[in-house]
Structure 1
Amino acid sequence: MLLFVQQIQAQNQYELNSAWKCNPIKSTKESGEVISSPSFSLRNWKPAVVPGTVLTSMLANKEVPDPFYGMNNEKIPDIYNTGREYYTYWFAKDFKESIPADGSEVWLKFRGINYSCDVFLNGKKVNQKVFEGMFLRQSFNITKFLTKDGNNRLAVIVYPPYTVGNANGGQGGDGTIAKNVSLQYTAGWDWIRPIRDRNTGIWDKVYIEKTGKVNLKDPHVITLVPEKRMPDAIQKPAIIKASADLENPSSQKVEGTLVYTIDGMKVSKKVILPPNSTTTVSLADLSLKNPRLWWPAGYGKQELYDTKFEFIVNDKVSDQEAVKVGVREIQTDWNAHTASRQIYVNGQKVFIKGGNWIISDAMLRFTDERYDAEIRFHRDMNLNLIRIWGGALVERPEFYAACDKYGMLVFQDFWMSGDCNGRWVDPMKKEDQWTRRNYPDNHQLFLESAADMIKMVRNHASLAIWCGGNEITPPEDILIPLRDEILPKLDGTRWFIDYSNSDEMSFNSLGGNGDGPYGIQPLDVFWNQRTFPFNSEVGSVGTGDYESLKRFIPKENLVVPYHDANQKPDSVWTYHTYTGVGYNEFINPYGKPKDIKDFGLKAQLVNYDQYRGLIEGFSSHIWDWYTGLIIWKTQNPWTAMRGQMYDYYLDPNACLYGLRNGGELVHIMANPVDGMLMMVNNDFKARRNLMLVAKAYKIDGTVKEITQVFTYIEASSVKKILSVKKVLDEIGAEDGSFLSLQLLDENKQIVSDNMYWYPNAKGEYTGLQKMKAAENLKVSVKSIASGKVQVTLTNPANNPIAFFNRVSLVDATSKERILPVFYNDNYVSIAPGAEKTIIIDNVPLQTKSQVSIEGWNYALKYFNVN
């Protein structure tokens, strides 16, 4: 093994992410050769946002209003009406980089431009042909273009997609946006309005990289974990396979050694690289003893190894790449009983509880911090998978890094949708199904882009499934090479399905109703009506509360959104995709909302009940009807009100906590139809000596003990216990009732805690409407660690239930919620004589904050943090 290796300066990489300037082409007369000359004045050019889009730069320069607020998006010209030139822009950036004195190479790297561009540096054109395609990285050797004094000017002209599409209100507008290899949602969908520039710009990162004679690219690590494993056990060895691409841009052959390091062990291989070539080099397999395995959220730790690839020439490191590796193996097989695919991680069968994801921000304003917060929310929902919907993109490495960290498996679609790509007859579409079936126009670009994106994210442990498209397969001349050549060659370790609700994933032959249902449902639908056995899309509500709504709805429009025959919904609510009629049907039994704040609170009751009921209903049939479900959808990249567990501003609503409660790894629940108490165990091990405590409460807090009994449940199973319907019917006929269910372990610690509220015999919550105030609720708030606050709610024995309390961290002066903040539970109900503890995490240390508590029968109060 090589020793005393000198690491040369030429390995450095840095990002060009500030001090960019931009100017529209319509007011730019000079050529790229002139603009890229360091002597050309940019004095009259505007500051630009890079990474970013034309629209983000216009917004930063206050040329357009915030399109996420109110009806502002209607005030911004749409590219379909203005023509492409209106959003065609020059971007320019000065940077310091000298010609290397030691024969090293300097590279200019783009991770994403939408949609095509020409690149100029110091008066010369860099690209030989037009750089086209939103999902294609490009790297240019710019060594010979650099100036002698090190003062360089980069200029890039960015053109919008070739076909921008008419945003006519259809899904993907008139569909023609799909002629490009780009985003489809930008022409509008039923959860978003059109993005006016169609996300034109240098939307992803730009780097300068310095290497030695050889550029090391796209390292690849495969981990094989044979046999069935258990978390926290002494593990048998895992097999590590490693390779990398080595680019020799010189006219001379280069001899060197490729070295891979993991956990202190090294594997190396000597190679000879031909001139002007890129060579894929595979290293010998490595046996990793007692590996620290990576597991999905809830099942074990998310262990990651820091690994490194180096290429060494004459005892100097020419280039190196670092990779974080999660040692795990994904397997699938067919469950003949359910007629669907089931997923294994490290040999253990995992019931999939997933959420559909669009994109972090509709204007592509991606940050590590936002990715981290959103993925953490999904982990906190007790989900274990995120599906990236096909009308968006292959997510960024920073997204995947957060999924690696929090244990979220990823189901990654490629860029197809049934709406734009011709699955259905659609009068909103410009072209017929046969024509749309062959979108995009450039199939070879699609395949090149797919191959490049596979290389970009394939090392992430979280990536579990590749999918050809949303609800439709790619055309055959894309599907076949993608499935049979590109994926086996560049990955070969993950399940590939041809489209998101394919028969290969979920064969609907056993009396099911397909995917969905979408929208608010009576809870018995989730428990009793069978759907696709691996359901890729189900669910669809998520309106926020008053604090959330007022962030993007103008004051004059903050009215209760009644939807009946005599009153049309407010236009701003409609614009932000409020799904109205269903909410009213479910809110009105709590009493017609008095005002918008009352509406927001009652909407949260519906939200919590819906998503707890959804995940419980599917869980009650694990391995019998279902092998998995993916909720449509769990987040919004815009200020919409369709399907979200938290709003665009990262404020969670009650959907998140209903889902979190119902999706516990070990959970106690009650069937809403027959009152059957059931336990579900999603864990890999049986749970013995659990005590079930079941109590019913009248509205005034009077308790009726139902049972207190030891029980058990086998691994990965569901179990019926007893029905409580008769008890609940008797005590709740007039005013409704509560049901408290708890599972305690051998140490009397709570494993599962679940409280239901029920209407009276007429389906109305009359009892809730006349509940006495829980005014004697005792509250303790204290800091317990850096960035953490503990809130303890204690309800005296003579109090009524303290029902549905929202705990919020707020700014002490403005009383506005501090975002994002994470709560281990929320919208909590505390029985008489009981206590609840909530931990608030991610508390900013520099902000003077308070904790607010407001519940159904507890008036808003603020508490200082001790």
Structure 2
Amino acid sequence: MTIRADLSDGWVLRLAEPDAPAVPATVRAALPIPATVPGTVHTDLLAAGLIPDPYLDRNELTLDWIGRVAWVYERDLPAAGDGPADAVLAFEGLDTVATVSVDGTVLARAENMHRRYEVPVRLPTSGTSRLAVRFDSAWEFGEAERDRIGALPNQYPAPFNFLRKMACNFGWDWGPTLVTAGIWRPVTLIRATGPRISEVRPRVTVEGRRGVATFDVTLAAPAREAIELTATVGEAVATIGMGPGTTSATVTVTVDDPDLWWPRGLGPQPLYAATVRVPGDEWQARIGFRTVRLDTEEDPEGTPFTLIVNGLPVPVRGANWIPDDCFPTRVTPERLHTRIDQAVDAGINLLRIWGGGVYESHEFYAACDERGVLVWQDFLFACAAYPEDERLAAEVDAEARDNVARLMPHPSLVLWNGNNENIWGWFDWDWRDSVGDRTWGLGYYLDVLPRAVRETDPTRPYWPGSPYSGSMERHPNDQDHGPMHVWDVWNTADYTVYRDYRPRFVAEFGWQAPPTWSTLTEALHDDPLTPTSPGMLHHQKATDGNGKLERGLAPHFPVPTDLTDWHFATQLNQARAVGLGIRHYRSLRPRCSGTIVWQLNDCWPVTSWAAVDGQGRKKPMWYALRAAHAERLLTIEPRGDGLALVAVNDTPAAWRGPVTVRRLSFDGAVLAEHRTRFAADRVGAVTMPLPGELTAPAGAEFLVADAESGERALWFFAEDRDLPYQPADLDAQATRDGADVVLTLTARSLVRDLCVFADRIDPAAEADDCLVTLLPGERQTLRVRGVPPGREGELLAGPVLRTANDLVAGG
């Protein structure tokens, strides 16, 4: 019999060195304090009222000391009683440089936030013993390793590349420097009187009309006698024997005609209950039957990068995922479900877990399994040269094998990627002189990691890096080969330059904007609050971020000086930029097989590239994602010297029908019209050049393309700042409908990109649509939730109701 006891209660937190000079006297006097496990030192100190909220104003700057001192978590262990005295402490996550001891005797040392550890312990027959986990400073450990090995290039001034810890804890261009410590994942006390399962690796695939689940099973200790090992998948069962002294076995279960697991939009997501049993212990998971491969066979245009699931190329509409909080233990399963639902509602079918964060929890992947959201998982290397020193290399190999095995049950996980931008850094970021003849991580990406994947889970593809072109003989960011990152647009150019690229796959591109108004004003208390006030600048972590925002805005709108207009204009510009990029790249199908925008989420209140801000509120960019990710998309795109209408079909059924394209004046008069029919194959696209009478405007005109099935595309021949907008002329009515308010909007003029910022009324308020463009005479209804009774009228005017017209023509 195996008994597992959760050890989440009864912990206290204290200083390892009570006289550490960096610690404020008020904190030192209050310690020890109750501790939460799983948790972190920062959140425990915050819960005890000993530190201010690090997310507010510039409090981050006063809390650097937390990551530079040593801490101890302690609790009592129970007596063995009538049970076995020999037990195991199973730590699912120790952050990061940890020493585990009982009654002062050291049992284990750990140096890796991203691994699981099992620590043998002997329980007293009576009374209690004291379990202590000491966490030394990750800062000091990283700095000491850097001194020992020698400095290596790094995009940020911190030693995160010298230890295995969440890199973005040390600060990023969207995140604060909050170097954590703590027992950040559950800890369990395990006692067994018989065989115990320590690991199960399910290799799940499809062979013809059969689903095949092969379970590689490892026991914690050699079997003392002959035992039976039984595996069950749904109603199918297989049993084998294990002889005395054996520690591992493989059992295969076959399921006839399984229901296949599909990415969302291409089919259902059936999951099968899987169980592996030995006498007195069992392992459980949910698995899905599907095949996956990555097509990187060179073709006449270069090297594709196409995910193929169940034999069907998947058109990727993705977003990059960063840790949803600087303190991951605050990310509850409910919060994960909300965030992944926001991704699904924005038309996203793949999340790329970025390499400067963490391998996410089972709850994350399970939510993706249920919703059909594919997961691209980076190994955790980002934006730096990493030493291949023996000490670190051993950690990297163990970490890779541990996490590949841990995540094998999840059908949503379809790709392992070696690193984020490190190979690009070797080529373009002036690393070579400082690295010299030393290692810098390439051995991990081309040898250690692919070998770990191949030997642990050969059912999933591996790719060495993003960006990477398939060979060190080619530039890693070559748009003709593999995945590329498009960052020169944000850094140095106007967003219309996205159209200059014809990539095979885009794994990162994005544009910044501030968070929602309520998130901004909850976090910052500058008086006055301006785009350049101290708190605003502190919550803008990108180099020259505000300068890039304004330079990116200037070609499209007059740059406002008023904060309210600046906030709206920069959010609108972000939405426009990202929407344009996605539509362009999708219109290149089949050459371009997918996009992964940077980024879905934020970890704190900050000006960033996110669609959903640090409080979980949707920026206008989220609505732009939803529109640009439509499974059936119409878009008007430049082609040669003219324009073309492109119909992109991401569904498993053909899309065909009539479409009408009109050239209109700003007052709604039809100046030219073209009718045609189109047929877009399943998971395909069709391009239709538009005739010259539509694409040669004589004045203030624009194009509208309407498919009979309801899809619409717009094209304006000039930038907003050069268009003769009139102030938005709207008949707007607000009607209470239970807890919601229904806005009925009728346009008497062209109204472009109407937004309702309901959170300005109440932080919980939200409209169901945004970026709505109405032609003269058109009507739209919006449903707004969360508006307190009596405040409905505030929805009918600025600063809640805004349009692009306002930024040019006033109103």
Correspondent of 1:22 among 13, 18, 39: 13
2:218 matched to which residue of 1?
A: 245
Secondary structure at the aligned position of 1:660 is classed as helix
Q: Which whole-Å CA distance do the structure 1 matches of 2:177 and 2:774 have between them?
A: 44
Structure 1 residue runs of 5 or longer lacking an equivalent are 1-7, 30-41, 228-235, 313-317, 422-435, 563-567, 784-788, 862-866
The 5-angstrom pairing of residues 623-772 of structure 1 reads 623-624=590-591, 626-671=592-637, 674-688=642-656, 690-695=657-662, 697-702=664-669, 706-707=673-674, 709-723=676-690, 727=694, 730=697, 733-734=699-700, 739-745=703-709, 750=710, 752-755=711-714, 759=718, 764=721, 766-768=723-725, 770-772=726-728
Q: Are the aligned partners of 1:335 and 1:342 in contact in 2 as well (CA < 8 Å)?
A: no
1:36 matched to which residue of 2?
A: none
Q: Which whole-Å CA distance do the structure 1 matches of 2:366 and 2:268 have between them?
A: 15
Deviation at 1:528, TM superposition (A): 3.3
Deviation at 1:379, TM superposition (A): 2.2
Correspondent of 1:305 among 272, 275, 279: 272
2:432 matched to which residue of 1?
A: none
* Structure 2 residue identity aligned to 1:678: V
Secondary structure at the aligned position of 1:324 is classed as strand
Q: CA 1:831–1:345 in structure 2 vs 1: closer, same or farther (change >3 Å)?
A: same
Q: Are the aligned partners of 1:772 and 1:857 in contact in 2 as well (CA < 8 Å)?
A: no
Correspondent of 1:774 among 720, 725, 730: 730
Q: Does 2:188 correspond to 1:207? A: yes
Q: CA 1:593–1:290 in structure 2 vs 1: closer, same or farther (change >3 Å)?
A: same
Q: CA 1:717–1:264 in structure 2 vs 1: closer, same or farther (change >3 Å)?
A: same
Correspondent of 1:93 among 75, 96, 120: 75
Q: Which whole-Å CA distance do the structure 2 matches of 1:661 and 1:494 have between them?
A: 31
Deviation at 1:116, TM superposition (A): 2.6
Q: Which whole-Å CA distance do the structure 1 matches of 2:728 and 2:505 have between them?
A: 44
Q: Are the aligned partners of 2:755 and 2:770 in contact in 1 as well (CA < 8 Å)?
A: yes
Deviation at 1:325, TM superposition (A): 0.8
* Structure 1 residue identity aligned to 2:115: L
Deviation at 1:451, TM superposition (A): 1.1
Q: CA 1:720–1:782 in structure 2 vs 1: closer, same or farther (change >3 Å)?
A: farther
Deviation at 1:650, TM superposition (A): 0.8
Deviations 1:65-113 (A, max 9, x none): 222222111112346xxxx7x5311112347x56364669754221111
Structure 2 residue runs of 5 or longer lacking an equivalent are 21-28, 424-439, 803-811
Deviations 1:622-672 (A, max 9, x none): 223x23332233332233323111111111111111122112111101115
Deviation at 1:253, TM superposition (A): 1.1
Q: Which whole-Å CA distance do the structure 2 matches of 1:859 and 1:366 have between them?
A: 30
Q: Which whole-Å CA distance do the structure 2 matches of 1:643 and 1:767 have between them?
A: 30
* Structure 2 residue identity aligned to 1:517: W
* Structure 1 residue identity aligned to 2:379: F
Correspondent of 2:136 among 136, 159, 162: 159
Q: CA 1:408–1:777 in structure 2 vs 1: closer, same or farther (change >3 Å)?
A: same
Correspondent of 1:530 among 502, 506, 511: 502
Q: Are the aligned partners of 1:803 and 1:857 in contact in 2 as well (CA < 8 Å)?
A: no
Correspondent of 1:348 among 305, 312, 315: 312
Q: Which whole-Å CA distance do the structure 2 matches of 1:400 and 1:578 have between them?
A: 36
Q: Which whole-Å CA distance do the structure 1 matches of 2:691 and 2:735 have between them?
A: 32
* Structure 1 residue identity aligned to 2:306: Q
Deviation at 1:307, TM superposition (A): 2.0
1:393 matched to which residue of 2?
A: 358
Q: CA 1:795–1:860 in structure 2 vs 1: closer, same or farther (change >3 Å)?
A: closer
Deviation at 1:327, TM superposition (A): 1.6
Deviation at 1:368, TM superposition (A): 1.2
Q: CA 1:570–1:323 in structure 2 vs 1: closer, same or farther (change >3 Å)?
A: closer
* Structure 2 residue identity aligned to 1:340: P
Q: CA 1:711–1:485 in structure 2 vs 1: closer, same or farther (change >3 Å)?
A: closer
Q: Which whole-Å CA distance do the structure 2 matches of 1:152 and 1:549 have between them?
A: 48
1:327 matched to which residue of 2?
A: 289
Q: CA 1:493–1:204 in structure 2 vs 1: closer, same or farther (change >3 Å)?
A: same
Q: Does 2:429 correspond to 1:446? A: no
* Structure 2 residue identity aligned to 1:730: P
Q: Which whole-Å CA distance do the structure 2 matches of 1:849 and 1:780 have between them?
A: 10
* Structure 2 residue identity aligned to 1:60: A
Q: Are the aligned partners of 2:196 and 2:219 in contact in 1 as well (CA < 8 Å)?
A: yes
Secondary structure at the aligned position of 1:607 is classed as helix
Q: Which whole-Å CA distance do the structure 2 matches of 1:833 and 1:703 have between them?
A: 13
2:233 matched to which residue of 1?
A: 262
Deviation at 1:369, TM superposition (A): 1.9
1:381 matched to which residue of 2?
A: 346
Correspondent of 1:493 among 448, 451, 459: 459
Q: Are the aligned partners of 1:807 and 1:826 in contact in 2 as well (CA < 8 Å)?
A: yes
Q: Are the aligned partners of 1:104 and 1:213 in contact in 2 as well (CA < 8 Å)?
A: no
Deviation at 1:139, TM superposition (A): 2.0
Q: CA 1:638–1:462 in structure 2 vs 1: closer, same or farther (change >3 Å)?
A: same
Q: Which whole-Å CA distance do the structure 2 matches of 1:772 and 1:509 have between them?
A: 41
Secondary structure at the aligned position of 2:126 is classed as coil
Deviation at 1:738, TM superposition (A): 5.4
Deviations 1:758-792 (A, max 9, x none): 646xx625544x32331345657457xxxxx6x76
Q: Which whole-Å CA distance do the structure 2 matches of 1:852 and 1:332 have between them?
A: 53
What TM-score does the superposition give when structure 2 sets the normalisation length?
0.83
Deviation at 1:155, TM superposition (A): 2.4
Q: Which whole-Å CA distance do the structure 1 matches of 2:735 and 2:750 have between them?
A: 15
Deviation at 1:344, TM superposition (A): 0.1
Q: Which whole-Å CA distance do the structure 1 matches of 2:270 and 2:558 have between them?
A: 50
Q: Are the aligned partners of 1:668 and 1:679 in contact in 2 as well (CA < 8 Å)?
A: yes
Q: Which whole-Å CA distance do the structure 2 matches of 1:594 and 1:475 have between them?
A: 46
- The structure carrying a bigger helix percent of its residues is 2
Q: Which whole-Å CA distance do the structure 2 matches of 1:725 and 1:634 have between them?
A: 39
Correspondent of 1:218 among 194, 199, 217: 199
Q: Does 2:120 correspond to 1:145? A: no
2:35 matched to which residue of 1?
A: 48
2:429 matched to which residue of 1?
A: none
Q: Are the aligned partners of 1:777 and 1:802 in contact in 2 as well (CA < 8 Å)?
A: no
Deviation at 1:359, TM superposition (A): 1.7
Deviation at 1:395, TM superposition (A): 2.2
Q: CA 1:116–1:738 in structure 2 vs 1: closer, same or farther (change >3 Å)?
A: same
Secondary structure at the aligned position of 1:282 is classed as strand
Q: Are the aligned partners of 1:218 and 1:245 in contact in 2 as well (CA < 8 Å)?
A: yes
Correspondent of 1:361 among 325, 336, 340: 325
Q: Are the aligned partners of 2:234 and 2:273 in contact in 1 as well (CA < 8 Å)?
A: yes
Q: Which whole-Å CA distance do the structure 2 matches of 1:450 and 1:512 have between them?
A: 23
Q: Which whole-Å CA distance do the structure 2 matches of 1:569 and 1:758 have between them?
A: 39
Q: Which whole-Å CA distance do the structure 2 matches of 1:455 and 1:794 have between them?
A: 53
Deviation at 1:241, TM superposition (A): 2.0
Deviations 1:602-624 (A, max 9, x none): 22321221111011111111223
Q: Which whole-Å CA distance do the structure 1 matches of 2:715 and 2:744 have between them?
A: 19
Q: Are the aligned partners of 1:774 and 1:857 in contact in 2 as well (CA < 8 Å)?
A: no
Q: Are the aligned partners of 2:237 and 2:253 in contact in 1 as well (CA < 8 Å)?
A: no
Deviations 1:188-241 (A, max 9, x none): 23222322xx222212222234555121132222222346xxxxxxxx332222
Deviation at 1:478, TM superposition (A): 4.1
2:111 matched to which residue of 1?
A: 132
Q: CA 1:682–1:824 in structure 2 vs 1: closer, same or farther (change >3 Å)?
A: farther
What TM-score does the superposition give when structure 1 sets the normalisation length?
0.78
Deviation at 1:184, TM superposition (A): 2.3
Q: Are the aligned partners of 2:415 and 2:461 in contact in 1 as well (CA < 8 Å)?
A: yes
Q: Are the aligned partners of 1:124 and 1:145 in contact in 2 as well (CA < 8 Å)?
A: no
Q: Are the aligned partners of 2:540 and 2:608 in contact in 1 as well (CA < 8 Å)?
A: no
Secondary structure at the aligned position of 1:267 is classed as strand
Deviation at 1:491, TM superposition (A): 0.5
Q: Are the aligned partners of 1:172 and 1:188 in contact in 2 as well (CA < 8 Å)?
A: no
